[in-house]
């Protein structure tokens, strides 16, 4: 693959992000390694426009942030020649960990100099692209409550009260899920669609081994509303109440008695039209990876 060492790249960070100061750990090492880059520290409302502008001008764009920021960048860089690199400064960074992306400044420098890249799949629901998963039911309600409380508390501290509040009151939906392979109807409080399939290793090992199988993973909780005991069983045992399917074909999900519905997308939430139309986008994104 052609060496990209001599080409200038862009580094973009949300200046209001909690870990924004950690960007210096990377940029200082980049300068010491004599890499040429332009740094963009931007207000949150300018992040999308900055990524959009840079991905048209630079062959490589490094975006600092968590899974929500990665999703924004992926939506912009999809189906383009631009390579996306991730500086994992978010809360959980599932995407960077599962894909084994360069994490440390030195790993990032090595990957940039060698220009190691990989084409990976993305997934889409209605007008939204996502890199990890999308869900309805319990998790969107939890994420919405967490974001409300995090305005007053540390984001990590907001997880606990949000979880228990939503555990008491979360929706259950009547759902139909159809394509040319599947025809399912069910009541559920948790339905998740993933970009490629999560592993079945229990307890607690929930990750993807591939990002290029061109498949949607489907996960349906079949026993009504969730409880603490049920969630523990889902995490620590092979779940009998969780139906798991996969498909490579576009998928339509209709939620009864809803014209709009709130969904989770890589940890964030959005309101969108019902029905939900999911599809896999094979090889849609080029990312910077370890050798």
Q: What is the CATH number for 270?
A: 2.60.200.40
- Total number of residues shown for the chain: 291
**Single pTM value for the model:** 0.87
- How far apart CA 20 and CA 221 sit, in angstroms, is 37
Q: Which two tokens stand for residue 140?
A: 């969107």
- How far apart CA 256 and CA 45 sit, in angstroms, is 35
Q: What is the mean pLDDT of the chain?
A: 88
Identify whether residues 111 and 132 lie together within a single domain. no
Residue 189 reports pLDDT greater than 50: yes
The CB density around residue 281, as the number of other CB atoms within 10 Å, is: 17
Identify whether residues 143 and 260 lie together within a single domain. yes
Q: Please report which confidence band the pLDDT of residue 205 belongs to, taking 50, 70 and 90 as the band edges.
A: low
Q: What pLDDT score was predicted for residue 186?
A: 94
State the average pLDDT over residues 61-88. 93
Are 189 and 171 in contact, with CB atoms under 8 Å apart? yes
Q: What pLDDT score was predicted for residue 202?
A: 54
Q: What pLDDT score was predicted for residue 6?
A: 43
Out of 48, 82, 115, pick the residue that ends a domain.
115
Q: What pLDDT score was predicted for residue 3?
A: 41
Identify whether residues 15 and 109 lie together within a single domain. yes
Q: What pLDDT score was predicted for residue 171?
A: 83
Whether 28 is in a domain gets the answer yes
Identify whether residues 59 and 151 lie together within a single domain. no
Identify whether residues 155 and 69 lie together within a single domain. no
Q: What pLDDT score was predicted for residue 229?
A: 77
Residue 5 reports pLDDT greater than 50: no
Q: Nearest to residue 267, comparing CAs of 65, 18, 16, 68? A: 68
Q: What pLDDT score was predicted for residue 158?
A: 75
Identify whether residues 162 and 183 lie together within a single domain. yes
State the average pLDDT over residues 193-201. 87
Q: Please report which confidence band the pLDDT of residue 155 belongs to, taking 50, 70 and 90 as the band edges.
A: low
Identify whether residues 40 and 85 lie together within a single domain. yes
Residue 56 reports pLDDT greater than 50: yes
Q: What pLDDT score was predicted for residue 1?
A: 38
Query: How much of the chain exceeds pLDDT 90, in percent?
Result: 61
Query: Whole domain around residue 209: which residue ranges?
Result: 128-280
Q: Please report which confidence band the pLDDT of residue 251 belongs to, taking 50, 70 and 90 as the band edges.
A: very high
Out of 60, 88, 115, pick the residue that ends a domain.
115
Identify whether residues 144 and 243 lie together within a single domain. yes
Whether 290 is in a domain gets the answer no
Mean pLDDT is lowest, of 56-70, 92-106, 117-131, for 92-106
Query: How much of the chain exceeds pLDDT 70, in percent?
Result: 90
Identify whether residues 133 and 106 lie together within a single domain. no
Q: What pLDDT score was predicted for residue 96?
A: 82
Identify whether residues 49 and 103 lie together within a single domain. yes
Number of domains the chain contains: 2
Identify whether residues 77 and 145 lie together within a single domain. no
pLDDT in tens, 133-151: 999 998 898 887 777 767 7
- How far apart CA 50 and CA 229 sit, in angstroms, is 45
The better pLDDT of the pair 151, 250 is held by 250
- How far apart CA 59 and CA 82 sit, in angstroms, is 5
- How far apart CA 247 and CA 196 sit, in angstroms, is 9
Q: What pLDDT score was predicted for residue 2?
A: 40
């Amino acid at each position: 693959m052609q060496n990209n060492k001599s080409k200038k790249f862009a580094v973009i960070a949300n200046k209001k992000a909690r870990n924004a100061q950690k960007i210096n750990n990377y940029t200082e090492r980049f300068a010491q390694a004599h890499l040429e880059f332009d740094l963009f520290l931007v207000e949150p409302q300018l992040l999308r426009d900055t990524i959009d502008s840079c991905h048209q001008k630079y062959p490589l764009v490094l975006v600092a942030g968590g899974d929500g920021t990665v999703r924004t960048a992926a939506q912009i860089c999809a189906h383009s020649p631009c390579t996306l690199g991730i500086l994992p400064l978010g809360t959980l960074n599932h995407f960077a960990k599962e894909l084994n992306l360069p994490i440390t400044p030195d790993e990032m420098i090595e990957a940039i100099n060698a220009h190691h890249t990989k084409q990976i799949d993305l997934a889409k629901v209605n007008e939204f692209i996502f890199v990890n998963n999308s869900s309805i039911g319990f998790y969107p309600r939890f994420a919405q409550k967490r974001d409300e409380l995090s305005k007053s508390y540390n984001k990590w501290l907001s997880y606990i009260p949000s979880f228990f509040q939503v555990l008491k009151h979360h929706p259950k939906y009547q759902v139909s899920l159809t394509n040319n392979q599947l025809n399912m109807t069910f009541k559920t409080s948790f339905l998740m669609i993933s970009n490629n399939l999560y592993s079945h290793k229990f307890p607690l090992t929930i990750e993807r081994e591939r990002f290029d199988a061109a498949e949607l993973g489907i996960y349906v909780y079949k026993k009504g509303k969730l409880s603490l005991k049920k969630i523990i069983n889902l995490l620590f045992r092979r779940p009998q109440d969780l139906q798991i399917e996969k498909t490579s074909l576009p998928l339509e999900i209709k939620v009864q008695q809803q014209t709009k519905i709130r969904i989770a997308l890589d940890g964030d939430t959005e309101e969108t039209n019902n029905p939900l139309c999911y599809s896999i986008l094979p090889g849609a994104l080029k990312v910077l990876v370890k050798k």
